[in-house]
Structure 1
């Protein structure tokens, strides 16, 4: 196999991505999935370039290395699900490591193979009832946020989540690791209403008007973050507002393999997003996973949906958006507060958007500010870090990042992914000051 396409090896051509044909009957065919898994796993076995990314690859390679022939042919395919269970859809293997992605003839797409495995497992209800219930609750982020903030429920939740003893007792029922921090749910804050911009200036593909997609995280877990973005946009002469009525982007359900729920979320959100775009608004989301869903995953899952293709062209990471404005001389660079030493963890779901290190570049515009970048996963994944069976591995993945953070002794730790920053803070033994990069930009501007 290694000689057939040797002139094509190396992944030197720009990678392409095939649509996910998840509604075709063959997608959930277990035998066809196992056959494709054998093909892809065998390529991975001969390469092993991705071994340091996550636990999927060490799990696969251990199965092979501990087998009778030290080859894939002697691995029981009943164990293939162990590889799937360790994947948290970071997409780094496809975008940053694998030399055999399309247009290479081998056409390796490991993340979407894992998605297929997750979808089959979800349909077959392979997990215990308690684990399935836990996964459904954890990935129903909008509903969970509403329930956790109800009167009396909020007090009970806060009491349990802050008690190590209570968490340990409940761990066997909830399936949540006793050492994992439970998410905090914040009451909604008063929405900041920016001033109207009288002189709206377009720049390249940006309209100068932004509707902010809050998603479940900014709505439930860090409710001041969206206001920080609105203030930064206003300070840069961009007309900005919050979207209303939007729901979770569907990424948690994608990771679960519940593709019907992903479609349900898409059908709710896409008309809202399209309406804003038709009114000449661009879309920004503060969470890289949300942006990635609309830029990549949803267009691949629903290739026939032309509305999604349009949304894909009008949704931005906040620093991608500000960078476009900056390159056109439209970014406000009047910073008044230096930030000292910042350690910046580049979020996986931002890295795989292939927009470049925009966050780092813009933070470095702040005088007397030094930014040290860590391009390695924190191991959080939203649910991977809290589940009883994977928490240990998430901490293992995080430790190299935490060591670099601790050694750098930063004034601020930041990441575009708020959960990544919280994971690093949780694993670290040092007291860290964490803040989202947008909040740091706001601070540097001196904006209250």
Structure 2
């Protein structure tokens, strides 16, 4: 068997999650042992997250100093540190398919998480934390929202939340919006449709749970950018959570339920020639990668995959078509920008950075490393400190530009990751630049209110 690294682009095999053997713990652990042995011999991913140092410490502290000396029950310590960022697969591992060793660390972790979930190993609090449509239902009810947000700022409430739900009292938490994005946004904006060589000339917005319930301003900024560029849009008629929080838990049945609700709606927009934009990278990735790998033979799933765009991927394609306005009257100064993991995994290049660099009077300092937040991982009592540790190199790298100056703005396409970085600045006393989403920055640069 060849041992040299794979020089071809990594390819993904479909996820065989409907096969009963997928949930066979003994078979899963045999595959984990095979993969862990390869990882132990390579150690290239040691700095990516907590999973690999945990594994290597277990090996180094075992009697044999090999994977066979590690108690298999300790494998769960490694599994629990994986938050499905996918960077080991996409950017580091030399043994991914088509290499004959066929190493897929993230999806083997997902298989183990699915077994744990099916066995009842996931606590009710974790399930609730991943149920974004449930706790988001209170958004848009002004009196309730104001009371809930005020309560969550009190030490007593945060202490209770830590005890009951396992949410670290020091972790940043998003507030509920007084008006949801889907309430605040015009349902459609009509104008002449101009298709480009690379892009459809009309857009359907999948609002995402976070933008709908927590930060509708990000979505409204996207709509202002589309309006400014005479791109007609509609808000997707109805939607549910994309399923990413449930995927990270291993709750594949809940992912299936979300898919059954979303795909028929999104497929209709795809057939009508819309580009489907999701402004949260994890949501776009679900429709571009994870759901297609779970349903490789479903035509509508694959159709939606081909029509989902990251907003900056779409805008830069419009620029290449000669259809994007490139006059920016407002300079932004110094911007420290972090490329989120689920943006990198989409293989679209650094489109956000590319657009920010078009703005005159703007210096962009880009950091391409995980912030450590990783969805619910960054707020749980058990993992918040680890998330802050993983993010520390990012916080430090973003704090100082090449000339030693501090940034005016810090930014990330992932809204949760952006707030995690802002908290890292505060905790590590790295200054107080303004946090702004890249879409907000572009709206500002266009001079739009």
Instruction: Find the counterpart in structure 2 of residue 411 from structure 1.
Output: 408
Gaps of 5+ in 1: none
Instruction: Find the counterpart in structure 1 of residue 7 from structure 2.
Output: 12
Gaps of 5+ in 2: none
148 and 439 in structure 1: CA distance in 2 versus 1, 3 angstrom threshold:
closer
Measured after TM superposition, the shift of residue 62 of structure 1 is 0.6
Separation in structure 1 between the aligned mates of residue 140 and residue 169 of structure 2, nearest angstrom: 22
Is residue 350 of structure 2 the alignment partner of residue 357 of structure 1? yes
Separation in structure 2 between the aligned mates of residue 72 and residue 194 of structure 1, nearest angstrom: 57
Q: TM-score, normalised by structure 1?
A: 0.95
Instruction: Find the counterpart in structure 2 of residue 385 from structure 1.
Output: 378
Is residue 54 of structure 2 the alignment partner of residue 40 of structure 1? no
* Moved >6 Å (runs of 4+): none
Instruction: Find the counterpart in structure 2 of residue 177 from structure 1.
Output: 168
- The aligned runs of 1:84-103 (5 Å cut-off) are 84-103=79-98
443 and 193 in structure 1: CA distance in 2 versus 1, 3 angstrom threshold:
farther
Instruction: Find the counterpart in structure 1 of residue 283 from structure 2.
Output: 290
* Aligned length in residues: 438
Separation in structure 2 between the aligned mates of residue 235 and residue 183 of structure 1, nearest angstrom: 29
Measured after TM superposition, the shift of residue 194 of structure 1 is 6.4
Q: Verify the 8 A CA contact 2:11 2:98 in the aligned structure 1.
A: yes
Q: Verify the 8 A CA contact 1:187 1:223 in the aligned structure 2.
A: no
DSSP-derived class of the 1:353 partner = coil
Separation in structure 2 between the aligned mates of residue 405 and residue 207 of structure 1, nearest angstrom: 35
Instruction: Find the counterpart in structure 2 of residue 207 from structure 1.
Output: 200
DSSP-derived class of the 1:428 partner = helix
User: Of the candidates 339, 361, 367, which is equivalent to residue 346 of structure 1?
Assistant: 339
Separation in structure 2 between the aligned mates of residue 206 and residue 65 of structure 1, nearest angstrom: 52
* Bigger mean CA deviation after superposition, 59-68 or 234-243: 234-243
- 1:232-287, CA deviations, whole angstroms, 9 ceiling, x for partnerless residues? 11222211121121111000000010000000000100111011112221100000
* Bigger mean CA deviation after superposition, 134-143 or 170-179: 170-179
Q: Verify the 8 A CA contact 2:189 2:234 in the aligned structure 1.
A: no
Q: Verify the 8 A CA contact 1:161 1:181 in the aligned structure 2.
A: no
Instruction: Find the counterpart in structure 1 of residue 432 from structure 2.
Output: 431
DSSP-derived class of the 2:65 partner = coil
Separation in structure 1 between the aligned mates of residue 244 and residue 157 of structure 2, nearest angstrom: 30
Is residue 281 of structure 2 the alignment partner of residue 281 of structure 1? no
- 1:388-409, CA deviations, whole angstroms, 9 ceiling, x for partnerless residues? 1111100101111111222332
Separation in structure 1 between the aligned mates of residue 88 and residue 207 of structure 2, nearest angstrom: 28
- The aligned runs of 1:125-204 (5 Å cut-off) are 125-127=120-122, 132-147=123-138, 153-188=144-179, 190-192=184-186, 195-198=189-192, 200-204=193-197
Separation in structure 1 between the aligned mates of residue 299 and residue 315 of structure 2, nearest angstrom: 27
- The aligned runs of 1:56-95 (5 Å cut-off) are 56-95=51-90
